[in-house]
Amino acid sequence: MTESKIILESQIREIYGRVIYTHKTHEKCADVLKTRHDWIKFAEIALSAATTTSVLVVLFGDGKLFQLIAAFSSTILLGLTLYSKDFNLLAIAEKHKQAALDILAVREALLSLLIDIRIGNNEIETLQQRRDELNEELVNTYRGAPKTINKAYQIASKALKENEEFTFSDDEIDKFLPENLRRTNQG
């Protein structure tokens, strides 16, 4: 491989690594926001039940404790409602899912480009042009993507580094392939 192709491959490998992290972060961000949405909805239901029950007890009986529970529950419920009215967490989560899918397409194209460089059948100019096209596609995807949250990045980092969510052994890959495409013996 020529020096120029080595330099190009190094750059594309760097982009590829960043894209893997970005893709995984958007996936995890969607998961975090969906979970957050579910917890808020659960809390709203629980607080509504506590408020309603307490109000009914106060109406049909007496009890300062239940008045306090009703007031406390309804105040927290109001706070949650005000918080969630400005944020449609499910819609934002869906945007993160879409961004992850768009980034996945670029990630796979970058992998193919790295393979093309190693095979060596393409001229450096052709490879550079493809790199530039993928960079433009990536920038456009990033422009339309919602901002990620730090918690999602931390989860993605752990998933990639510790849980090895993006790595596969030859044995794992071979299980999905027909026998004539396998690299290891399945004896």
Q: Residue 34: name the closest of 92, 119, 101 by CA.
A: 92
Stated as kind and residue range, the H or E segment containing 114 is: helix 89-119
pLDDT for the residue numbered 186: 52
Which residue, among 73, 68, 93, has the nearest Cα to 149 in the 3D structure?
93
Amino acid present at 165? E
| pTM (2 d.p.) | 0.79
pLDDT of residue 185: 64
pLDDT recorded at residue 86: 79
Instruction: Print pLDDT tens along the chain (187 aa).
Output: 789 999 999 999 999 999 999 999 999 999 999 999 999 999 989 988 888 888 888 777 777 788 888 888 889 988 888 888 778 899 999 999 999 999 999 999 999 999 999 898 889 999 999 999 999 999 999 999 999 999 999 999 999 888 888 777 778 777 776 787 677 765 4
How far CA 150 is from CA of 22, 23, 80, 166, 184, in Å, comes to: 12, 14, 22, 20, 40
Q: For tokens 């071979």, what's the residue?
A: 174
